Structure 1
Amino acid sequence: MSRQIFQLKVSLAGVRPPVWRRVLVPGGYTLDRLHRVVQHAMGWRDCHLHSFDIDGRQYGEPDPDGELALRDELDVRLDAVVGKGDRFRYTYDFGDWWEHDLVVEDVCAADPDERYPACVEGERACPPEDVGGPAGYAVLLAALADPGHAEHRMMREWAGAGFEPDFFAADRATTLLRRFC
């Protein structure tokens, strides 16, 4: 039997212009592995908590103190909880509250000549960690776009000279996915 590949579109909610990725992921991946795919495809550094919300059920790393009622993401395969056309949510960084909308655009047989996971398309750079969520990111973008903005210089230094909001390279994301997922 051939492996099923899920084509997912991952979009960062509440951000304009849109930041999104299209990834190809084996359906047999656990949600823990899907977490790593989202992290590396988007450009996050995985230094905050996360959770998935699928049909009203929460999945993630179980909280030993029991404060968060999460099902263990290590025990759940992607193909067991979603199918073609389904939508679900991934939240990263419970302080900045980055919500990602995920859509299963297609489910198909794996191409024997292809390696998975893969990032096949996307737009714009991931916001920097700890920028303050969508509202903080909007402030950063406004300051970077206007050299006359009162916070332009400070924000450029904070974000780093290498941060280019319009830049995204799918091939670089695929390299990271194959190395770390």
Structure 2
Amino acid sequence: MPRQIFQLRISLAGVRPLVWRRALVPGGFTLDRVHRVVQHAMGWRDCHLHSFEIDGQQYGEPDPDGELSLRDELDVRLDAVVGKGSRFHYTYDFGDWWEHDLVVEDVFLADPEERYPDCPDGERACPPEDVGGPAGYQTLLAAWTDPAHAEHRTLRDWAGDRFDPAVFDASRVGTLLRRFC
């Protein structure tokens, strides 16, 4: 049977301008692999805990202390819990609390000439890790382009020379996805 590909639109909630990605993911991927797709597509470094919420059920890495009620993401395939038109959520970094809205835009048969997963489209750079969530990122953006801002130099130095909030390279992300997911 040909593989089904899920076209996901991943949007980072709570930030303006919008940071988003379109990812093409095999439906047979387990949620732990979808987690890796979101990490690489968005530009996160997988330094923090995460979870999915799908139809009121939480999925992630099981908590050995049993404090979090999560179903094991290793045991659940994407195509078993969502379909075309489904909406679900992914939260990354329970301190900064980055919420991602995911929508299954389409489901189609894999093109035998293509390699998956892929990220054909998106806009803007992902916020830097540990910037302080959406509020911290908005402060960074305000300071970024305003040399008169009290934190302009400090935040530019902290974010580094390679960070540019407007830049997103879909072909680079596609290569990372195929290599690491």
Which residue pairs with 2:124 in the alignment? Answer: 124
Deviation at 1:45?
Answer: 0.0
Count of paired positions: 181
Which residue pairs with 2:7 in the alignment? Answer: 7
Which residue pairs with 2:161 in the alignment? Answer: 161
Q: Secondary structure at the match of 2:91?
A: strand
Q: For 1:22-171, list aligned pairs within 5 A.
A: 22-171=22-171
Structure 1, residues 123-157: CA drift from partner, whole Å, max 9, x if none? 00000000000000000000001011111000000
TM-score, length-scaled by structure 1 = 1.00
CA distance in structure 1 between the partners assigned to 2:176 and 2:36 by the alignment = 10
CA distance in structure 2 between the partners assigned to 1:94 and 1:145 by the alignment = 29
Structure 1, residues 48-91: CA drift from partner, whole Å, max 9, x if none? 00000000000000000001000000000000000000000000
What is the percent sequence identity of the aligned residues? 81
CA distance in structure 2 between the partners assigned to 1:65 and 1:179 by the alignment = 33
TM-score, length-scaled by structure 2 = 1.00
**What amino acid sits opposite 2:102 in the alignment?**
L
Which residue pairs with 1:21 in the alignment? Answer: 21
In structure 1, stretches of 5+ residues that fail to align are none
Structure 1, residues 110-135: CA drift from partner, whole Å, max 9, x if none? 00000000001000000000000000
Q: Does 1:179 align with 2:160?
A: no
**What amino acid sits opposite 2:122 in the alignment?**
G
Q: Secondary structure at the match of 1:46?
A: coil
In structure 2, stretches of 5+ residues that fail to align are none
**What amino acid sits opposite 1:79 in the alignment?**
D
Q: Secondary structure at the match of 1:22?
A: strand
**What amino acid sits opposite 2:92 in the alignment?**
Y
Deviation at 1:179?
Answer: 1.0
